[in-house]
Amino acid sequence: MVHVAATRLATAAVVGLLVLGGCNGSDPPPDGEAAARSATTSSTERTTTTEATSTTEADPALTTTTGAPAAFAGATAPSSAPPPPGATEVALLTDVEVGGGAGVDRVVFRFADAHLPGYDVAYVDEPVRQDGSGETVPVEGQARLHIRFEPASGVDLRRGTFEETYRGPDRLRGPTQRVTEVVRVGDFEANLAWVVGVDSTVPYRVEVLPGDNAIVVELAH
């Protein structure tokens, strides 16, 4: 009997030690399902972090809400507009600027005294001819965008002195991607004409900026 009692006491002690070891040691390792869930969670966190970094690095000025390149709101069809309401005087050209912008080439026509003309803009076939004389005017480029302003001139005839208000060159180039050159082809009877040489028939748009006394022609890259 003493031997049996001792054996039971030893067994109880061993069970107690095992219970204490389970309480004081580390948690048991996860089973197969728990491990799979843990791996999936880690993978999802890494994917989310990568996508967030890619979105942050994208330039919002060059993308739409879907991430596609922003569209150029222009066309290749002819465009025209009459002079602003109340315009009664000939608009006098003072400056022509050629340059590049964000995704566009830009030709800016500036006028004096807050007077702006109407305009007609259209792609034309060769040959380009000088207003009045009819002589052929060479214009570099695979396409030619003809711009006519009316009533407008680069010469002030109001005082009878034939004073030039535009003293710049008749042929201009600029740091552009599409525009090859901009050429004056007419200043006759209040019709002022310029042709923009372009490397191809690209969409364009016309903006009238009364606050800047300017009419701007933009061509898409």
Average pLDDT, the chain: 76
> How is residue 39 written in tokens?
């791996």
Task: Let me know whether 106 and 147 are in one domain.
Answer: yes
Query: Does 214 fall in a domain?
Result: yes
Mean pLDDT in residue range 26-42: 45
pTM: 0.68
For residue 141, the domain's CATH number is 2.60.40.3500
Residue 53 has pLDDT above 90, yes or no: no
Amino acid at 55: T
Domain count, the chain: 2
Residue 84 has pLDDT above 60, yes or no: yes
Task: Let me know whether 30 and 108 are in one domain.
Answer: no
Residue 49 has pLDDT above 50, yes or no: no
Task: Let me know whether 119 and 45 are in one domain.
Answer: no
Query: Does 71 fall in a domain?
Result: no
Query: Does 23 fall in a domain?
Result: yes
Write down the pLDDT at residue 71. 59
d(CA 128, CA 194): 10
Which domain range does residue 147 map to? 79-220
How open is the CA angle 202-98-169, to the nearest 5 degrees? 120
Mean pLDDT in residue range 79-97: 93
Task: Let me know whether 97 and 192 are in one domain.
Answer: yes
Residue 44 has pLDDT above 60, yes or no: no
Task: Let me know whether 119 and 49 are in one domain.
Answer: no
Write down the pLDDT at residue 132. 87
Task: Let me know whether 147 and 83 are in one domain.
Answer: yes
Write down the pLDDT at residue 66. 31
**pLDDT band, very low/low/confident/very high, at 51 (cuts 50, 70, 90):** very low
Question: Which of helix, strand or coil describes residue 216?
Answer: strand
d(CA 114, CA 17): 98
Residue 54 has pLDDT above 70, yes or no: no
d(CA 188, CA 202): 29
Write down the pLDDT at residue 74. 87
Mean pLDDT in residue range 115-138: 94
d(CA 124, CA 12): 105
Write down the pLDDT at residue 152. 97
Task: Let me know whether 99 and 44 are in one domain.
Answer: no
Q: What is the dihedral of CA 51, 57, 59, 60, to 10 degrees?
A: 50
d(CA 93, CA 165): 6
Mind listing the pLDDT tens digit for each residue in 64-75?
223 333 457 789
Task: Let me know whether 92 and 151 are in one domain.
Answer: yes
d(CA 111, CA 192): 12
Long-range contacts of residues 65-68, Cβ cutoff 8 Å, at least 24 apart:
none
More confident residue, 72 or 49: 72
Query: Does 65 fall in a domain?
Result: no
Mean pLDDT in residue range 144-152: 97
More confident residue, 216 or 55: 216
Query: Does 70 fall in a domain?
Result: no
